[in-house]
Structure 1
Amino acid sequence: MGAVVAVALTTRWPLVGAVLALPVLPVATYLFGGSGILAMVIAAVTIEVIAARGLLTTGTVLVIAHVALSSIDLEQRAVVFDPVGLMFVGVFFVIVYAFGYNRHSQRRRRLELQRSLAASQRQQRLTVARDLHDSVATSLTSVVMRSQALELSVTGEDPADARVRTELEGISETSRNALEQLRAMLRVLNTELPDQSTEAAAPPLVRDALHNTVSELRAHRLKVETDVVLPPEDRLPVDRDAVARILVEMTSNAVKHSPSRSTVRLDCRVGTTDGSPRFLLSMTNAVTEGTLPYGGEDALFSTHIGLASMQSRATDAGGTISMGPVAEAPSLWRTALSLPIVE
């Protein structure tokens, strides 16, 4: 009865059951006159359960303890040294321990596989969220902002101008609805950003990315001042994809938060930091009073994914990025990127 209780306790409280099972073998041998088969089975079950629970050290100690206790003869009150018997008992318990260890290993591999699959699926979702944000969401934001700017430019009272305003209002409303739905989907997909993603298209040259940025800012009625001093493209080994993606996000934030016809300053050059050549890029723009990037009141235009996206891409490229109000001019917002150049 006590042996059954010991096994039952082992499944619930392994250490308690293991301790209670220790005297089973010598006591059973004493009570049943040398027939300890049942006791060995009870001890074997205990060892198997302990090993299967992952308590490998405890299981090893139990094997050694049970082998040692099997040599105790309570009836003779002596230790009987039988090499053949000890070897048989030892091999038996080692085999039982191996079964438990195998069960533990299978469970551990199964859990690792489940975690790996879950991490892979999560990685895919986060990659989709970031790429959608960097492409579709940014493009839709541009459509909304341009259509709103065109609405303000059509001021005539004739029927043709009225129709144009109506069409522009329709485009703007449709784009806002699509953007709102996309943002909602991105919030569901995104909780944190992945470390890596695979891009299908070749990234643009740095000069082309800068040119596209200037064109986009001017298309939204922003004045652009540039100070770009770069070596030839073939002598600028920098992560072009990171530069292009971060420039897109910088541009999107400047368009969303800058007052109309305000000035955006874009600086890009190769400098030296701590003795190492670095690619330095910064964008400084005014912000509408009462709003700041990543903290504005219009939730439609921000899911806060852009900040994490830029930080993630800069880190992946081995660089750093900083953003915030300019200390000497709080009405200005500056985003500065620093990437390593590998000679």
Structure 2
Amino acid sequence: MPVRLTLSPPDRVALLIAAAGLAGGGLLYALGLRSTPLAGLPGRLALVALVVMAGAELLRRRAPLTALAIGTAAFALDVCAGSLVANVGMYTDLVYAAVLYGPPAAYRRIPRATEAITVLGTLLAVALIRDPTSLLVGIALAVVLVAPAWTGVGVRVHRDAARAARLAAERTALLAELDRREAVVAERARMARELHDMVAGHLSAIAIHSSAALSIDEPEASREALGVIRQNSVQGLAEMRRLIGLLREAAGADEPAPTPRLDGLDALLERARTSVHDDRFSFVLRDERGAGKLPVPVELAAYRIVQESLTNVVKHAAPGPVLVELTRDGDGAGPLTVRVASVLGGDTGPRAPGAGAGLVGMRERVALLGGTLAAGPVADGGKLWEVRAELPVESEEKTS
């Protein structure tokens, strides 16, 4: 298959410079406004140099080094045949374009090369002419070579800095978007945990007592079950309102919603005792955490762990003692240990259906605080089910 070489057309700036150079150079030649030839070449060659220089201008951006090489040859011919100002102007643009659009090596070397050529040209002129006017050669070389080269350096430095700033801004915007998405995901997970922990216990109690009301054809038992269902429905509605309050607080509401504290564990145990409706269950709270104040996140996590553990007791545990224990090591200055132990249920299945998200939510809460969680059968031949969580507690100075 033959290879086709496609060349993109020159940009508008290159076309304008080439056209202006051709028109201006032709007019100057017609008026005879050109310098004295150095090598006695025919003046017509200045027009040849003009055409070649204009053609090189068309490559100033697509192939800047090639354009500079062609322009250098045309400029040498122009000087030998009687220089036109238009050729000089276009050549300075080629030097500038080579530094601005060329590769990094050209950007570093061309300015140094122009300085070296200017110095050598000045010394050569002084040695040959031996007159103070020979210094004008050095000035001319500096104007034609050094000035456009360093102008290109300055423009390229600012262009690269602007490009780097733009890339940095885009990277910052990308990181901000990633942070926003991560925050949204984390907030959704937090609200999912809150929703599960607040509502699951009430719905489990409602499911258990509604099943009992349907299966036992006794008016008194049905009336009592309906009372428990109503109580849990009201409490679940209150919890949902609190959750809505949290959402409104995040949206800028005036009044923040209250956060559950460990002082409300007695009410949690009483609710669980009412939900199971079995005298063989006994719920005991042993609070040995001391007088030290706990940070709000730790209290909320401990409260939710106890709440979910009691929900699981209502669903799965066999009748027997249920112990909720809160302890702190180091005279009330160490981590908070939350322990909930109950009798392991049999193979009869759960009293109410569940989604299996309770342990996942507890592990997420503990992990967010940097603690540990263990849940499973323990002691007495595996007849007890225990949930144990250790929650690190930082001092008020660290958390403030």
Q: TM-score range by the shorter chain?
A: 0.5 to 0.7
Aligned to 2:341: 284
1:209 aligns with 2:265: yes
Instruction: Spell out, residue by residue over 1:165-219, the C-alpha distance to the aligned partner (whole angstroms, 9 max, x if none).
Output: 9x97xx89xx9xxxxxxxxxxxxxxxxxxxxxxx954344534314422541453
* CA distance, structure 1, for counterparts of residue 220 and residue 378 of structure 2: 42
1:130 Cα deviation from its structure 2 partner = 1.9
Contact 1:22 1:43 in 2 (8 A): no
2:86 pairs with 1:30: no
CA distance 1:251–1:45, shift in 2 (3 Å): farther
Which of 230, 235, 242 is 2:288 aligned to? 230
1:271 equivalent in structure 2:
329
1:134 partnered with 2:187:
no
User: Matched residues, percent identical?
Assistant: 20
More strand by share: 1
Per the alignment, in what secondary structure is the counterpart of residue 237 of structure 1? coil
SS in 1 for 2:307: helix
For 1:88-237, what aligned pairs fall within 5 Å after superposition? 88-152=151-215, 154-156=216-218, 164=222, 200-220=256-276, 221=278, 223-226=281-284, 228-230=286-288, 234-237=291-294
What stretches of structure 2 of length at least 5 have no aligned partner? Answer: 10-59, 76-90, 122-141, 234-254
SS at match of 2:258: coil
Task: Give the deviation of 1:45 after TM superposition.
Answer: 5.6
Of structures 1 and 2, the one scoring higher in RCO (CA 8 A, sep 6+) is 1
1:194 alignment partner in structure 2: none
Q: Aligned residues, how many?
A: 272
RMSD value, Cα: 4.6
Offset at residue 251 of structure 1 (A): 0.8
Quick one: distance in 2 between partners of 1:39 and 1:30? 10
Q: Aligned to 1:277, what secondary structure does the other structure show?
A: coil
SS for the counterpart of 2:382 is strand
Of 310, 329, 333 in structure 2, the residue corresponding to residue 251 of structure 1 is 310
Larger radius of gyration: 2
Structure 1 runs not aligned, ≥5 long: 6-20, 48-61, 176-198
Q: CA deviation at 1:301?
A: 0.4
Q: In structure 2, what is the Cα distance between the partners aligned to 1:42 and 1:107?
A: 29
Which residue of structure 2 aligns with residue 313 of structure 1? Answer: 365
Match of 2:354 in 1: 301
Quickly say closer, same or farther: Cα 1:204–1:107, change in 2 above 3 A. closer
**Cα contact 1:204–1:244 (8 A) shared by 2:** yes
250-259 or 115-124, which deviates more: 115-124
CA deviation digits over 1:116-167, x for unaligned, max 9? 3322332332232122112123322222123224445x344xxx589x59x9
Distance verdict in 2 for CA 1:214–1:119, change over 3 Å:
same
CA distance in 2, matches of 1:246, 1:43: 68
Q: Which amino acid aligns with 1:95?
A: H
Cα distance in structure 2, aligned partners of 1:117 and 1:340: 28
Deviations 1:224-275 (A, max 9, x none): 253614366x54535322221111111111112113x3432333333349x9
Match of 1:29, as an amino acid? L
TM-score (structure 1 length as normaliser): 0.61
Q: For 2:168 and 2:120, how far apart are their aligned partners in 1?
A: 37
2:18: which partner in 1? none
Quote how far apart the aligned CAs of 1:98 are.
2.6
Q: Is the 8 A contact 1:228 1:267 kept in 2?
A: yes
Find the counterpart in structure 1 of residue 139 from structure 2.
Answer: none
TM-score (norm 2): 0.53
Contact 1:203/1:240 (8 A) holds in 2: no
